[in-house]
Amino acid sequence: MIENKRQELAVEPNTAPKTNGLTRGVRHANWFSRYVRYRHFYLFISPFFLLFAVFGLFPLLFSFCLSFVNWNGLTAMRWVGLQNFRLMLGDEMLGTALWNTLIIGLLYIPPMLVMAFLLAQLLNAKWLQLKAFWRAAVFLPCVTPMVVISIVFSLIFSSEKGILNYVLSVIHILPVPWLTSEQWSKTSIAILVIWRWTGYNMILMTAGLQGIPVETYEAAAIDGANSFQRMMNVTVPLMMPTFRFCILLSLLGTMYMFDEIFVLTNGGGPGTSSLNVGMYLFDLAFQDFKFGYASCVAYTIAAVVLIVTLAVNRLNRSQEKEFVS
Amino acid sequence: MAGHVTVWSWNIAAESLNSIRPRFEAHDPKVHVIVDMTGAQMQMRLMLSIVAGVGAPDVSQLQNTDAPYYIATGRLTDLTSVAGKYRAEFPAAVWNSCVLNGHVYAVPWDIGPCAIYYKRSIFRRYGIDPNQIDTWDRYISAGSEILAKSGGRTKMLPMGSNDLSTLFGILLQQSGGQIFDGQGRIAIDSPQSLEALDVLRKMRMAGITSDVPTYSQEWMAGLTDDSVATYPGAAWLSGMIKDSVTAGKDGNADWGVFRLPAIEPGGLRVANVGGSVLVIPAQCRNKPAAWAFIEYALCSREGQLAQYRGSGIFPALLPALHDPSMDVSDPFFDGQMVSNLFTTDITKITPLNKTATWTEANGYLNEALSHWAATGMTKEDIFKPLAQTMSRRLMVDLAPGVSNVSGAAVK
């Protein structure tokens, strides 16, 4: 493909020598004639770029501008410069939201990934029958509509009439105020998230497992490694990139988690005990109509997330290199 | 006057307006009304079309509590010259949210006077006389009696700790408290608020509350089983109760209604929750026709009474509210005459001052209350820090002292 393109470029009659200021005009004409020549192809790929420009790029730039104004959506915008950012530094509710996000993440990410890994191992085993069925069964929560989940889980977690507390009472454990106490609300959300997203992570890990060459296991087996040693010394190291990818996705998911919290704890309750960043942003923008301030917070969070993502990616790459060398 | 008038409204409110359309068109034959039941997305669509300056209907419904926010945008038609004269015909509690700086931008439609719905069967079984329950203290002791006699099975009322602000708002109206004072400053930190909070605490401590989220599956289940004895609520709640509870062949569901208990003996036994208004967006091209419809539907006894009879919408218009024909016996409530019961003393309610940031303020109130509930309702005072939070986040001053709490409308 690339070779073809190079050849075509080479036969272009007006190809000018590089880095010659005098011929810049010619080069522009050259580009333009290329656009004209390949216009059909540009036309074919244009829908994405048009849609992206309208629904992706424009809101992105617009909300950046909004970070510097006060605007409730109806009255005129008022330029406030960096005042939104200054407000944000003293915003104790944002602090709470970030703290809650961290705690919820710590509560669910480790158990979820361990379970996903073990399930992926199990459902990847050679002796297992009906693999597709089991995988689908574990994956199902992830495609179940949130409305259904919300009804079912509020019945499970209900303090007074909940199934979970009934089961606990049968085994003589005192009822737990799952959704009505500030100590337990984050745990309840973590349980829901684990239930909902373990299957998804399992699929990612299954893909990772299947990418490990069989030869490595054979070599390990010949060297006398038992199955536990094979897992710890072959599977786990080779799965590291997949683990990091899953962790990153989960971190992002925790930051912008919305529907789980919206339906389960009435959008962050009790008090602000389960308010996370995503929910807080929603409240700011669409409950309080503080579009300017919401954009400012969103941009700042996005910047932090970007930095963390880049750092994790860099880590990934350097470790991969290490492994290869 | 001639032309088309499009109206945006929702649910039974829309049906109700639709049902009086023929009468109105007989009245004003050249005006044609189209009622558009826009449903759940209406708020957002209305907001977008008001921002865009095109696409809004000629007349739109708004929730009473949302009206100040829309009015503050300056994109609604000033109705002072035509609607100002009706001021005395509506309870101050609802008229308040229609006015900004002395100008009228909306007309109250319906009101939500509150009372207590109760299950007659449970009260009979445990020998409780609803007529004796005239204070919250008596309500709580009746609740304790029911709880004890039912072996802990029947709670007096549902009180979801995630949604305490509605019940608190009812109590605050009874105690004469305010969230905002007459100048729009934060007045939540007051003895009246503490009084209201105290009632909630006593209910919880007595163990007579069922901690289920309002309108959740469990809440609805309580309507039809024996787990809950009473439901404090507005007149419009009866629609939901009637939808869920199966009545006997004669339409009698063996439910009843008694008046809201007072905080102190002889205190106010009514409060208002919810209700809607109609507005005319500034971009409306046919304002005289739009106003003619609003005037007929909301400011005429005939229009309001027809809506009450057709859809059970409680008129905000006082002459309609006090019309003798309002009081008919309701078979669902064992033939009880309920509408007078709901509306007695409705004009005595201290109106809660609404501001453009009402919804946001209410959010902070709800957060503080649910935090308080989750920590066992033991804290004596939650309002000092709440007032600070509200003041800081809404960028509004604190009201100086509590003396001017019951101020006039937001001017």
Whether residue A158 and residue B218 make contact (CB cut-off 8 A), yes or no, is: yes
User: Which of B367, B371, B378, B394 is most worth mutating to test chain A (most A CB atoms within 10 A of its CB)?
Assistant: B367
Report the distance separating Cα A322 and Cα A240, nearest Å: 12
- How many domains are contained in chain A? 1
Q: Which residues of chain A make contact with B51, given a CB cutoff of 8 A?
A: 73-74
A9 — pLDDT class (breaks 50, 70, 90) = very low
The strand pair at B157-158 and B276-279 is best described as: unpaired
Least confident of A266-270, B136-140, B275-279, B360-364: A266-270
Q: Which residues of chain B make contact with A261, given a CB cutoff of 8 A?
A: none
- With 80 as the cut, is the pLDDT of residue A3 above it? no
Q: What is the mean pLDDT of residues A121-125?
A: 88
Which residues form the domain of A123? 87-324
Q: What is the mean pLDDT of residues A72-82?
A: 84
pTM value > 0.95:
no
Residues across chain A: 325
DSSP symbol at B190: S
Report the distance separating Cα A171 and Cα A22, nearest Å: 87
Query: Strand locations in chain A, DSSP E?
Result: 69-70, 78-79
**Distance in Å, alpha carbon of A72 to nearest chain B alpha carbon:** 9
In a domain, A79, yes or no: no
User: Which of A147, A284, A289 is most worth mutating to test chain B (most B CB atoms within 10 A of its CB)?
Assistant: A289
Q: Which residues of chain B make contact with A180, given a CB cutoff of 8 A?
A: 161-162, 211, 373-374
Whether residue B161 and residue A155 make contact (CB cut-off 8 A), yes or no, is: no
- With 80 as the cut, is the pLDDT of residue A324 above it? no
Tell me what pLDDT residue A2 has. 46
Give the side-chain half-sphere CA count within 13 A for B104: 20
Of the candidates A154, A161, A270, which has its C-beta nearest B161's C-beta?
A270
Long-range contacts of A104-108 (CB under 8 A, 24+ apart): A104/A186, A104/A189, A104/A190, A104/A193, A104/A254, A104/A257, A104/A274, A104/A276, A105/A250, A105/A251, A105/A254, A107/A186, A107/A187, A107/A190, A108/A189, A108/A190, A108/A191, A108/A193, A108/A194, A108/A250, A108/A254
Report the distance separating Cα A59 and Cα A51, nearest Å: 12
- With 80 as the cut, is the pLDDT of residue A161 above it? no
**Distance in Å, alpha carbon of B288 to nearest chain A alpha carbon:** 25
Tell me what pLDDT residue A23 has. 52
Largest pairwise CA distance in chain A: 88
Of the candidates A154, A271, A287, which has its C-beta nearest B216's C-beta?
A154
Query: Tokens 């199934």 identify what position?
Result: A163
pLDDT of A173-201, one tens digit each?
A: 888 888 888 889 999 999 999 999 999 99
pLDDT of A18-31, one tens digit each?
A: 444 455 555 667 78
Residue A24: its H or E element: helix A24-37
Least confident of A192-196, A261-265, A293-297, B389-393: A261-265
**Residue B73 corresponds to which amino acid?**
T
Domain B114-271+351-394 part of CATH 3.40.190.10: yes
Whether residue A287 and residue B363 make contact (CB cut-off 8 A), yes or no, is: yes
The strand pair at B255-259 and B59-63 is best described as: unpaired
Q: Where in chain B is the domain with CATH 3.40.190.10?
A: 3-112+274-326, 114-271+351-394
Alpha-carbon dihedral angle through residues A168, A173, A178, A184, given to the nearest 10 degrees:
-140
The SS3 of residue B235 is: coil
Tell me what pLDDT residue B135 has. 96
Q: What is the mean pLDDT of residues A60-70?
A: 92
A299 — pLDDT class (breaks 50, 70, 90) = very high
Residue B219 phi, psi (nearest 5): -60, -45
Greater model confidence, B248 or B369: B369
Mean model confidence pLDDT for chain B:
88
Greater model confidence, A316 or A131: A131
DSSP symbol at B230: E
DSSP symbol at A91: -
Here the ipTM equals 0.73
CB atoms within 10 A of CB B81: 10
Tell me what pLDDT residue A323 has. 57
Q: What is the mean pLDDT of residues A290-308?
A: 91
In a domain, A58, yes or no: no
Whether residue A266 and residue B213 make contact (CB cut-off 8 A), yes or no, is: yes
Tell me what pLDDT residue A28 has. 66
pLDDT of B317-354, one tens digit each?
A: 999 988 888 888 888 999 898 888 888 888 888 778 88
Least confident of A209-218, B34-43, B159-168, B221-230: B34-43
In a domain, A2, yes or no: no
- CA B300 remoteness from chain centre: 21
Q: Which fold has domain B3-112+274-326?
A: D-Maltodextrin-Binding Protein; domain 2 (3.40.190)
Q: Which residues of chain A make contact with B105, given a CB cutoff of 8 A?
A: none
- With 80 as the cut, is the pLDDT of residue B402 above it? no
Q: Which residues of chain A make contact with B74, given a CB cutoff of 8 A?
A: 75
Tell me what pLDDT residue B40 has. 61
In a domain, A231, yes or no: yes
- With 60 as the cut, is the pLDDT of residue B104 above it? yes
Q: What is the mean pLDDT of residues A161-175?
A: 87
Of the candidates A270, A283, A288, which has its C-beta nearest B371's C-beta?
A270
In a domain, A27, yes or no: no
Report the distance separating Cα A231 and Cα A205, nearest Å: 14
The SS3 of residue A185 is: helix
Q: Quickly list DSSP for A96-112.
A: HHHHHHHHHHHHHHHHH
Q: Is the peptide bond before A270 cis (omega within 30 degrees of 0)?
A: yes
Q: In sequence order, which residues have a C-beta less than 8 Å from that of residue A270 and are 6 or more positions away?
A: A179, A180, A181, A182, A185, B161, B162, B370, B371, B373, B374
Q: Which residues of chain B make contact with A287, given a CB cutoff of 8 A?
A: 359-360, 363
Whether residue B162 and residue A269 make contact (CB cut-off 8 A), yes or no, is: yes
Residue B24: its H or E element: helix B11-27
Helix %, strand %, coil % of chain A (to 5): 75, 0, 25
Name every residue in A having a CB less than 8 A away from some CB of B: 72-75, 93, 151, 154-155, 158-161, 177, 179-182, 185, 265-266, 268-273, 283, 287-289
The SS3 of residue B111 is: coil
Taking the CA atoms of A67, A69, A75 and A76 in sequence, report the sign of the dihedral they define.
negative
Whether residue A180 and residue B163 make contact (CB cut-off 8 A), yes or no, is: no
Of the candidates A73, A155, A182, which has its C-beta nearest B374's C-beta?
A182
The answer to whether residues A12 and A30 touch, using CB atoms and an 8 Å cutoff, is yes
The answer to whether residues A190 and A104 touch, using CB atoms and an 8 Å cutoff, is yes
Tell me what pLDDT residue A321 has. 67
Greater model confidence, B18 or A3: B18
Report the distance separating Cα B76 and Cα B98, nearest Å: 11
Closest-CA residue of A relative to B369 is: A271
Q: In sequence order, which residues have a C-beta less than 8 Å from that of residue A23 and are 6 or more positions away?
A: A16, A17
Token couple for A234:
């072959």
In a domain, A288, yes or no: yes
Report the distance separating Cα B305 and Cα B298, nearest Å: 10
In a domain, A45, yes or no: no
- How many CB pairs (< 8 A) connect A and B? 79
Name every residue in B having a CB less than 8 A away from some CB of A: 47, 50-51, 69-70, 72-75, 161-163, 210-213, 216-218, 221, 227, 357, 359-360, 363, 367-368, 370-375, 393
We report the CATH number of the domain holding residue A124 as 1.10.3720.10
User: Which of B208, B393, B396 is most worth mutating to test chain A (most A CB atoms within 10 A of its CB)?
Assistant: B393
